[in-house]
């Protein structure tokens, strides 16, 4: 007999596990199915967490080599890569186990295996030994996430031609790495390996990195990364990647058709991710997909089937963990009869390089396109006393506010702790604040957050420290 649940979530990533916990909190008998053998999805296992761990460790390694310039003499600094990788793996294990504990605490039944549809209300779960379990559910939430995309004819062997998954567990520091794609993954993982000693070349199809980001920030970002000795080849098309099993040759051509080959030890292909619906047997329930093979949903995350919902990377929108989590909570609340909602205008995006880059709301380019009149406030970290005190003063804060009402429409930061500073602006925007509201809020001294206050003051041309 199949066990019956009020709700079953397929996928135990940040979308799925958060959704399952919220459903259980709201009193529904809930199960969560995860095929990976460990909870937390891409984010905890092969994404956000291991990458942030390596970004931090590589940054520490890089910084310690520089300390003697600041009056701190250290002995010879040596990299122990296996130990660094162990430290990263420990962070992953602690957090994934933590999620398992949270499911238990909230009385969510956890099934280890791959879930597929038998019918609108029945799921078949196959574990790694092919043992089958059947469950029935009133409501089913698909949260199966995404997978890396490759280039036509290019196969990941995760040793020489790697996706982010391989780039997170290289056994040696490559001498030379080609990164295809100057987006989130390319720049974060490129920074990690560059700091550990690799010569990194980013090959980007467009004439700028980080598409979609405010252009001024993107330009400054590339300038700073170049100073860190990351090489950029913009408007270059990859035509072929030849895997010679111990190295690779990346053949490219620029916009004039001029060809250039890169000989390297490792190629990281980071040209985006695609929705993952493999193994779900979606045909059985006739779920509609959009042109990009994402599951189509309405604003309440409902698919074309009344009792089936989808959230996270497998549907439209930015592929970010916090977006998946918020959708997980919203869909759970909708299912429980409440009014769950996600405000897509205030989802921050952060790139965890040094310096960090963070943005929220509209970019200047978007405001121009929408014909919205705006004012700009800008403040450089060079004039922020905390940033100067610790010699970490690259970058600036940029706030965009409505010309007439002064309502904050967007903010774009590059600089120390930008990923933390953006939260203040997120709260302000959720409350419909004006730049004057931020400017009149007392900020502690000396903090990086004073740069946000000064940028808000600068919207009205009254910054004090610049």
Distance CA 436, CA 295 (A): 41
* List 37, 82, 211, 279, residue binding ligand NAD (CB under 6 A): 211
**In a 3-state reduction of DSSP, which class is residue 237?**
strand
* List 33, 137, 271, 295, residue binding ligand FAD (CB under 6 A): 33
Closer residue to ligand FAD (CB): 13 or 415 = 13
Residue 128: which of 114, 142, 118, 143 has the closest Cα?
A: 114
Maximum alpha-carbon separation in the chain: 72
Q: Which stretch binds ligand NAD (CB under 6 A): 112-120, 121-129, 202-210, 329-337?
A: 202-210
Residue 451: which of 460, 463, 434, 461 has the closest Cα?
A: 463
Closer residue to ligand NAD (CB): 272 or 446 = 272
Task: Determine, following the binding rule CB under 6 A, whether residue 145 of this chain makes contact with ligand FAD.
Answer: yes
Query: Quick one: what does residue 315 bind among ligand NAD, ligand FAD, none, with the CB cut-off 5 to 8 Å set by partner type?
Result: none
* List 280, 285, 330, 357, residue binding ligand FAD (CB under 6 A): 280
At its nearest, how many Å lie between ligand NAD and the CB of residue 353?
Answer: 9
HSE-up (13 A, CA, CB side) for residue 8? 26
* List 5, 111, 352, 381, residue binding ligand NAD (CB under 6 A): 352
Task: Determine, following the binding rule CB under 6 A, whether residue 124 of this chain makes contact with ligand NAD.
Answer: no
When CB distances to ligand NAD are compared, the closest residue is 183
Closer residue to ligand NAD (CB): 125 or 189 = 189
Q: Per-residue contact track with ligand FAD, 93 to 112, x per CB under 6 A? A: --------------------
From the CB of residue 431, how many other CB atoms can be counted at a distance below 10 Å? 9
Strands 236-243 and 231-233: unpaired
Distance CA 56, CA 51 (A): 9
Residues 6 or more apart in contact with residue 189 via CB below 8 angstroms: 51, 54, 164, 167, 168, 179, 268, 270
Q: What does the radius of gyration of the chain's CA atoms come to, in whole angstroms? A: 24
Closer residue to ligand FAD (CB): 328 or 410 = 328
Q: What is the DSSP track for 15-56?
A: HHHHHHHHHHHTT--EEEEESSSSSSHHHHHHSHHHHHHHHH
* Helical segments of 128-171, H only: 164-167
Distance CA 140, CA 51 (A): 31
Query: Quick one: what does residue 211 bind among ligand NAD, ligand FAD, none, with the CB cut-off 5 to 8 Å set by partner type?
Result: ligand NAD
Closer residue to ligand FAD (CB): 348 or 410 = 348
Two tokens at 343? 């405000």
Residues 166-195 close enough to bind ligand FAD by CB under 6 A = 185
* List 5, 7, 8, 11, residue binding ligand FAD (CB under 6 A): 11
Q: What is the DSSP track for 376-428?
A: EEEEEGGG-HHHHHTT----EEEEEEETTT-BEEEEEEEETTHHHHHHHHHHH
Task: Determine, following the binding rule CB under 6 A, whether residue 21 of this chain makes contact with ligand FAD.
Answer: no
Residues 46-75 close enough to bind ligand FAD by CB under 6 A = 47-48, 51
Which residues are marked as active site?
445
Query: Quick one: what does residue 238 bind among ligand NAD, ligand FAD, none, with the CB cut-off 5 to 8 Å set by partner type?
Result: ligand NAD
Query: Quick one: what does residue 11 bind among ligand NAD, ligand FAD, none, with the CB cut-off 5 to 8 Å set by partner type?
Result: ligand FAD
From the CB of residue 172, how many other CB atoms can be counted at a distance below 10 Å? 10
Residues in contact with ligand FAD by CB under 6 A are 10-16, 33-36, 41-43, 47-48, 51, 114-115, 143-146, 164, 185, 276, 279-280, 312-313, 319-322, 324, 352
Residues in contact with ligand NAD by CB under 6 A are 151, 180-186, 188, 203-206, 211, 238, 270-273, 318-320, 350-352
């Amino acid at each position: 007999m199949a066990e019956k649940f009020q709700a079953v979530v397929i996928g135990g990533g940040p979308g799925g596990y958060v959704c399952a916990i919220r459903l259980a909190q709201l009193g529904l008998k809930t199960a969560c199915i995860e095929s990976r053998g460990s909870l937390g999805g891409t984010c905890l296992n092969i994404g956000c967490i291991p990458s942030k761990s390596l970004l931090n460790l590589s940054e520490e390694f890089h910084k310690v080599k520089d300390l003697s310039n600041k009056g701190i003499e250290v002995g010879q600094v040596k990299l122990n890569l296996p130990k660094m990788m162990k430290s990263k793996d420990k962070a992953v294990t602690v957090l994934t186990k933590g999620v398992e504990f949270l499911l238990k605490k909230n009385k969510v039944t956890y099934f280890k295996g791959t879930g597929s549809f038998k019918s609108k209300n029945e799921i078949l779960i196959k574990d790694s030994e092919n043992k089958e379990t059947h469950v029935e559910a009133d409501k089913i939430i698909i949260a199966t996430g995404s997978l890396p995309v490759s280039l036509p004819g290019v196969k990941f062997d995760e040793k020489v031609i790697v996706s982010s998954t391989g780039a997170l567990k290289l056994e040696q520091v490559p001498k030379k790495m080609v990164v295809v794609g100057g987006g989130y993954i390319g720049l974060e993982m490129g920074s990690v390996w560059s700091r550990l000693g690799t010569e990194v070349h980013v090959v980007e199809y467009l004439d700028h990195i980080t598409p979609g980001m405010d252009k001024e920030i993107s330009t400054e970002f590339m300038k700073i990364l170049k100073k860190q000795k990351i090489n950029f080849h913009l408007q270059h098309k990859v035509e072929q990647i030849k895997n010679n099993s111990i190295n690779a040759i990346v053949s490219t051509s620029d916009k004039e058709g001029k060809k250039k080959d890169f000989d390297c030890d490792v190629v990281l292909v980071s040209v985006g991710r695609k929705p993952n619906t493999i193994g779900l047997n979606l045909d059985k329930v006739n779920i509609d997909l959009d042109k990009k093979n994402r599951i189509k949903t309405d604003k309440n995350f409902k698919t074309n089937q009344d009792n089936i919902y989808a959230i996270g990377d497998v549907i439209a929108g930015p592929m970010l963990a916090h977006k998946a989590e918020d959708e997980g909570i919203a869909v759970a609340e909708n299912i429980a009869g409440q009014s769950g909602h996600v405000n897509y205008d205030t989802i921050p995006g952060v790139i965890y390089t040094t310096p960090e880059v963070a943005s929220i709301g509209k970019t200047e380019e978007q405001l121009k396109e929408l014909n919205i009149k705006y004012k700009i406030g800008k403040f450089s970290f060079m004039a922020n006393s905390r940033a100067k005190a610790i010699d970490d003063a690259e970058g600036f804060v940029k706030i965009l506010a409505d010309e007439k009402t002064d309502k904050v429409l967007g903010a774009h930061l590059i600089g120390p702790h930008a990923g933390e500073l953006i939260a203040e602006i997120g709260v302000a925007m959720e409350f419909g604040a004006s730049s004057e509201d931020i400017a009149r809020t007392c900020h502690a001294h000396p903090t990086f957050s004073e740069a946000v206050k000064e940028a808000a003051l600068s919207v009205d041309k009254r910054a004090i420290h610049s």
